[in-house]
């Protein structure tokens, strides 16, 4: 019906009997406006239902006003979603005090690379934060080529594109987990590792290996899972079949670990009595098992927060370098 033009600064100014500039000052909380004028203006604002036009504002102050948060569409089954939500929250909190809006860009990894790339080139945002480097190189290389200020969350697999990243110390996480197994007396320690194409998986595996090497134990009991529950179950089954003397397992994700625990129990092994288990992520899934999983913290929100700090640096024109944050073991009953 009424396609009445939205009220502008001018309208408010007219109504309040002041100039556009004064209204602008009031709206932007500039202190040097007389109280009476201020009141007149705010009254006019509410009466007219004035809302500043973001585009016009953005046009004149060329301050960055939005960042793209690129989320590779995780395969449904990967179930890494809780971590993603955690990261989104972290970013949201990190951006809370800034005028930056977070623009979500989802894409099915692989399939949508082109569309994503085109969008990113479109200059819709002033920067980007890329979640989880599971993404094809297409997007990350496009990003570094475009020159859009970008921070990756999670170290990218493959050669580094020169893009700064934040990551958690997965090597140390794997080591701590395995150290715990060693410390409680396990002598035959296997691992259910993650997919080989992910940096986090490789790092955790490397940590496991380092710990075993340091303890002088064998490091040949390795099976890979896909971070899904079912994948974890199957990997555990293979591991158990290949190494019947297993007395400890480091599983690279809680979801897989939960499945591994139930698989072990189904096979008649008491956890942690016969086989001790340490998971990874400290996710809600860690609390599903009985007893509750011993796991490694993997605070996605901290990483995300750090990423926002780094991105703000980049937007301010200052260079940043990648950061690796520390992790720690979370006590549970399985190791």
Regarding 37 and contact with DNA (CB under 7 A), the answer is yes
**28, 31, 36, 59: residue in contact with a second copy (rule CB under 8 A):** 59
User: Cβ-count burial of 159 within 10 angstroms (0-12 exposed, 13-18 middle, 19+ buried)?
Assistant: exposed
Residue 316 contacts a second copy per CB under 8 A = no
Choose among DNA, a second copy, none what residue 47 binds, the Cβ cut-off being 5 to 8 Å by kind.
none
Query: Of these partners, a second copy, DNA, none, which one is at the site of residue 314 (CB under 5 to 8 Å by kind)?
Result: none
Q: Which of a second copy, DNA, none does residue 212 bind to, with CB < 5 to 8 Å depending on kind?
A: none
String of DSSP letters for 78-144: G--HHHHHHHHHHHHHHHTTSSPEEEEEEEETTTTHHHHHHHHHTT-SSEEEEE-TTS-HHHHHHHH
Distance CA 331, CA 326 (A): 17
198, 157 contact by CB (below 8 A): yes
Q: Candidates 31-39, 65-73, 149-157, 252-260 — which segment interacts with DNA by CB under 7 A? A: 31-39
With beta carbons less than 8 A apart as the criterion, state whether 12 and 1 touch.
Answer: no
What's the CA gap between 194 and 197, in Å, rounded?
9
Choice between 8 and 98, CB closer to DNA: 8
Q: Taking CB under 8 A as the rule, does residue 52 contact a second copy?
A: yes
Q: Is 31 a residue that touches DNA (CB under 7 A)?
A: yes
Q: Is 89 in the site for a second copy (CB under 8 A)?
A: yes
- Is there a contact between 150 and 129 (Cβ–Cβ < 8 Å)? yes
Sign of torsion over alpha carbons 199, 200, 202, 207: positive
Is the preceding peptide bond at 125 cis, omega within 30 degrees of 0? no
Q: DSSP secondary structure string, 196-210?
A: TT-HHHHHHHHHHHH
Site for DNA in 43-72 (CB under 7 A): 50, 52-53, 56-57, 59-62
**According to CB under 7 A, which residues from 257 to 316 bind DNA?**
none
Q: Residues in the site for DNA, rule: CB under 7 A? A: 5-6, 8-10, 17-22, 24-25, 27-28, 31-34, 36-38, 50, 52-53, 56-57, 59-62
Q: Residues in the site for a second copy, rule: CB under 8 A? A: 1, 3, 49, 51-56, 58-59, 65-66, 69, 73-74, 76-77, 79, 81-82, 84-85, 88-89, 92-93, 96, 101-106, 115, 121-124, 147, 228-230, 258-259, 262, 266, 284, 287-288, 290, 317
């Amino acid at each position: 019906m009424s396609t009445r033009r939205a009220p502008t600064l001018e309208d408010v100014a007219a109504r309040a009997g002041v100039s556009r500039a004064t209204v602008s000052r009031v709206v932007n909380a500039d202190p040097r406006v007389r109280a009476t004028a201020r009141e007149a203006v705010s009254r006019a604002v509410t009466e007219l239902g004035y809302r500043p036009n973001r585009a016009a504002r953005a046009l004149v102050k060329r301050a960055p006003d939005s960042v793209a948060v690129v989320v590779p569409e995780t395969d449904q089954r990967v179930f890494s979603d809780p971590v993603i939500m955690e990261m989104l929250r972290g970013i949201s909190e990190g951006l809370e005090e800034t005028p930056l809006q977070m623009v979500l860009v989802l894409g099915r990894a692989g399939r949508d690379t082109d569309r994503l790339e085109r969008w990113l080139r479109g200059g819709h945002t002033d920067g980007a934060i890329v979640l989880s480097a599971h993404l094809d190189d297409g997007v990350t290389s496009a990003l570094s080529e475009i020159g859009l200020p970008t921070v990756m969350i999670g170290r990218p697999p493959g050669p580094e594109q020169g893009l700064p990243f934040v990551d958690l110390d997965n090597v140390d996480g794997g080591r701590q987990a395995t150290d715990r197994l060693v410390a409680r007396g396990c002598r035959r320690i296997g691992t259910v590792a993650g997919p080989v194409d992910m940096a986090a998986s490789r790092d955790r595996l490397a940590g496991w290996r380092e710990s075993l090497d340091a303890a002088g134990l064998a490091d040949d009991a390795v099976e890979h899972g896909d971070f899904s529950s079912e994948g974890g179950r199957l990997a555990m089954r293979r591991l158990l079949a290949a190494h019947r003397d297993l007395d400890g397992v480091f599983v690279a994700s809680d979801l897989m670990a939960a499945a591994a625990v139930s698989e072990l129990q189904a096979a008649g092994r008491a956890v942690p009595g016969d086989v001790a288990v340490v998971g990874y992520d400290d996710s809600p899934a860690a609390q599903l098992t009985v007893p509750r999983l011993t796991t490694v913290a993997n605070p996605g929100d901290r990483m995300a927060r750090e990423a926002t700090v780094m991105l703000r640096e980049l937007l301010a024109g200052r260079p940043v370098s990648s950061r690796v944050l520390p992790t720690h073991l979370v006590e549970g009953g399985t190791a």
